[in-house]
Structure 1
Amino acid sequence: MHLALLIYGSLDTISGGYLYDRKLVEFLRAQGDTVEIISLPWRNYVAHLTDNFSPALSRRLKDFRGDLLIQDELNHPSLFLLNRRLKRKTKYEILSIVHHLRASEQHPAGIMPLYRAVERAYLRPLTGFVFNSGTTRRAVEALTGQKAARSVVALPAGDRLPISLGDEPIRQRALLPGPLRLLFVGNVIPRKGLHTVLAALGAVDFEWTLQVVGDLRVASGYVRGLQREVAQKGWEQRVHFWGRVEDADLFRIAAECQVLVMPSCYEGFGIAYLEGMGLGLPALGTTAGGAGEIITDGVDGFLIPPGDAGALADRLRVWHQDRGRLVAMSLAARQRYAVHPSWAGSMGQVRDFLTCLL
């Protein structure tokens, strides 16, 4: 097959969505397929809307002579009108990889009608979809008001990190006395909910530590506010902001923690939960979005309402006070990871689907 993948910025961008795209490109190329990367510059939302009227972008996409044009749905502001013209003037099929919708996120109420209208206009004419979860598929069908008949749900995997912890080290780690050792992994942006974690930690009366791993530059103002809060509360020795780290360092940091906390207001799937489970870390997510496709509440983690710091504090108390339950949930998390598809299996599903479109 000859395909093109359209993205914003670099394929090496650090996020779950870009990891998925990167794994797909690697898999397709390993099967002998040709995959071109078409990159649009990162700009603000309004500037992206103007891409629909760019003669240079229009020519670039019209000149593509491959079989399929795959677009990361993140690019929908730049394509919601342009795609309609392409469908009339090109022979290739256009489909989208949908990680999660902007319309599913929390934004000021006044702007949401525009976001929904633009995203709906992008999604409706597409030939097919690759979804990262059943939750994302249902969100698209609800927004468009139509069934995504030509589509595949191919789950992200968690086998990127070198998993080497057995049951006994996981059990011993959970039983370690002292502070509850928490891990937060993800770009430090408001949607990921680190502020909710800090609010919950301010309400508990036991010792804890928190390792924060993820890009600190995406929402620098938000991060500075969190760092000020940590300093004002005298938590500098308890909260460590690592920033972006290499995979080997992430493994080392995570292996020393006991639980993963990422109470995002919305996740289309949540690769970080799964990767943490591979290390025997029970995960705390929210009831919004796709976290519930990974976490079974009370078994291998907890699900709380988004933004509910009180509920988060209650779950942390359970883990701290009942180490036997923490052991059971840690082992259940590892078992949940073990039955999940691999990257190779999921990307094979996508390739089979793409082949059927030709």
Structure 2
Amino acid sequence: MGRVRADGVMRLGFVVYGSLSERSGGFRYDRKLVEGLRSRGHDVSVVGLPWDRYAKSLYHNLADLESRLSGFDAVLEDHLCHPSLLRANRALDVPVVAVVHHLRSSEPRAAWKNACFRTVERRYFDGVDAAVCNSQTTRRSVKRLRDRPTTVAYPAGDRFEAAVSNSSKSSKPSKPSETRSVGDDTDGPLRLLFLGNLIERKGVHVLLSALATVSGDWTLTVVGARTDAEYAARLHHLRNYLGLRESVRFAGRLSDEEAADHLARSHVLVGPSLYEGLGLVYLEAMAFGLPVIATTAGGASEIVSDGETGLLCPPDDADALADAVRTLRDDPNLRRRMGDSARERYENHPSWEETTTTVVRFLDDVTDPTGAVP
């Protein structure tokens, strides 16, 4: 099925939109995977495709992409690029492996729109030989779409280890897992943190609506890029309309060092996403011993154990989200127990080294000329 070199080194292409310098969790996964493959001696070439609107990306199939994807032993592709690769994949004579963070058709939107996305994604997987998934949830969604060989390679949550270690502020711990136990600092308001791009799927509008019904002393800091400027403007208007100007601060996009500082000073991470294939930010917060409020939509439950490391709410349910905030506001001891469990969960999670090992073993099978793919 593929070509195997005598020295065991694979020549791999890795397809992404833009470049690996993008800062979202999915791009961090891709970047760390490329670094891990290269550290094992494999020759990895990153093939960057231009960012375009979804419909316009379909026109990329008129270009000669297959020439850019030739000469490799296997081609890995961030599934985000799927509308651009329908034609090129069918022309390749080497294994094509999708790296899937979550399916676009799994996101919440009108049924007819998701039906269209599902049709394109199904066509994409017709030209794919196998898939690396970031969670069991993502794996099941891929299998429902097309039955392809898959493996689950969980991402690590160590994004802020270097940021904290390199900080010049001596008051910070040398690594996140050495932060104070959540609940030790019970004076002052409950400090809530949202960390993620400002797009509608992240559910910040639901969080604001929930917090408008929560009395008492609390603050929310929203850290994230204005990826969708129109949505970000709506959020500012909603905050003001709900009378939350004094309690909710939009901090914008911050450096890792600055984001780590917010994590170290917060009590709870709130991730009210309407859907996440996994939710890497939950694990990153657990590195700081933070309990997490997340939703049941997608793969969050693979990281957040309800009642143990945090609380899970139905998606788009402001009442349930408000109840979860009240629960952690009113019980510092519960915050402390959940924070300790969250930190333990983080410490027992696979490392990027283990992630790379899983993917390399899978690629060995995929490129096996006998075709013995699991």
**Correspondence list, 1:155-304, <5 A:** 155-162=154-161, 164-165=175-176, 169-173=180-184, 175-216=185-226, 218-304=227-313
**Unpaired stretches in structure 2, ≥5 consecutive residues:** 1-9, 162-173, 368-374
**Structure 1 position 248, deviation (Å):** 1.3
Superposition deviation, residue 177 in structure 1: 2.1
Deviation at 1:171, TM superposition (A): 4.2
CA distance in 2, matches of 1:168, 1:6: 37
Q: What's 2:11 paired with?
A: 2
2:60 is paired with a residue whose SS is helix
Aligned residue runs from structure 1 range 325-344, under 5 A: 325-344=334-353
Mapped pair 1:141 → 2:143: yes
Q: Out of 288-297 and 7-16, give the one that drifted further.
A: 7-16
Name the residue aligned to 1:74.
80
Q: Deviations over 1:156-197 (max 9, x none)?
A: 111221273567821454x41221100101111000111111
Shift of 1:343: 1.3
Deviations 1:129-156 (A, max 9, x none): 1110000000111122x2x3x3211001
Q: For residues 263 and 30 of structure 2, what CA distance do their matches in structure 1 show?
A: 24
Paired with 1:280 and 1:79, the residues of 2 have a C-alpha distance of 41
Counterpart residue number, 2:35: 26
Which residue of 1 is the match for residue 66 of structure 2? 58
2:107 alignment partner in structure 1 = 105
For residues 104 and 177 of structure 2, what CA distance do their matches in structure 1 show? 39
Partners of 2:318 and 2:303 in 1: CA distance:
21
Tell me the secondary structure at the aligned position of residue 284 of structure 1: strand
**AA paired with 1:159?**
D
Could you tell me whether the CA contact under 8 Å between 1:52 and 1:82 is conserved in 2? yes
Q: Is the 8 A contact 2:182 2:290 kept in 1?
A: no
Give the residue type in structure 2 aligned to 1:160. R
Q: Kindly indicate whether the alpha-carbon contact (under 8 Å) linking 1:133 and 1:268 is maintained by their aligned counterparts in 2.
A: yes
- Amino acid across the alignment from 1:170: S
Say if 1:94 and 1:333 are closer, same or farther in 2 by CA, change over 3 A: same
- Alignment root-mean-square deviation, CA: 1.6
Residue 234 of structure 1 deviates from its aligned partner by 4.3
> CA deviation digits over 1:255-303, x for unaligned, max 9?
0000000111111111100000110111111111000000110111111
Contact 2:269 2:282 in 1 (8 A): yes
Q: TM-score under structure 1 normalisation? A: 0.93
| Whole-Å separation in 2 of the counterparts to 1:284 and 1:44 | 32
Q: How much has 1:349 moved relative to structure 2?
A: 1.2
Read off the aligned partner of 1:110 and give its amino acid letter: W
CA displacement at 1:233 relative to structure 2: 3.9
Q: Does the 8 A contact of 1:9 with 1:42 survive in 2?
A: yes
What do residues 39-93 of structure 1 show as CA deviations (whole Å, max 9, x unaligned)? 1111111111111121x323323xx211011111111111123322x14xx3x21
Residue 357 (1) aligns with residue 363 (2): no
CA contact (8 A) 2:179 2:289 kept: no
2:170 counterpart residue number? none
In 2: Cα distance, 1:15 partner to 1:271 partner = 10
Q: Percent identity?
A: 43
Equivalences for residues 113-128 of structure 1 within 5 A: 113-128=115-130
One-letter code aligned to 2:66: S
Which residue of structure 1 lines up, in the alignment, with residue 98 of structure 2? 96
Instruction: Specify the SS of the correspondent of 1:296.
Output: coil
For residue 153 of structure 1, what is the aligned residue in structure 2? 152
Verify the 8 A CA contact 1:182 1:260 in the aligned structure 2. yes
The whole-number CA distance in structure 1 between the counterparts of 2:81 and 2:125 is: 11
Partner letter of residue 75 of structure 1?
C
Contact persistence 1:269–1:293 (CA under 8 A): yes
Number of residue pairs matched by the alignment: 346
- The CA distance in 1 between the partners of 2:310 and 2:250, in whole Å, is 24
Tell me, in whole angstroms, the C-alpha distance in 2 between the residues paired with 1:10 and 1:164. 28
Structure 1 partner of 2:169: none
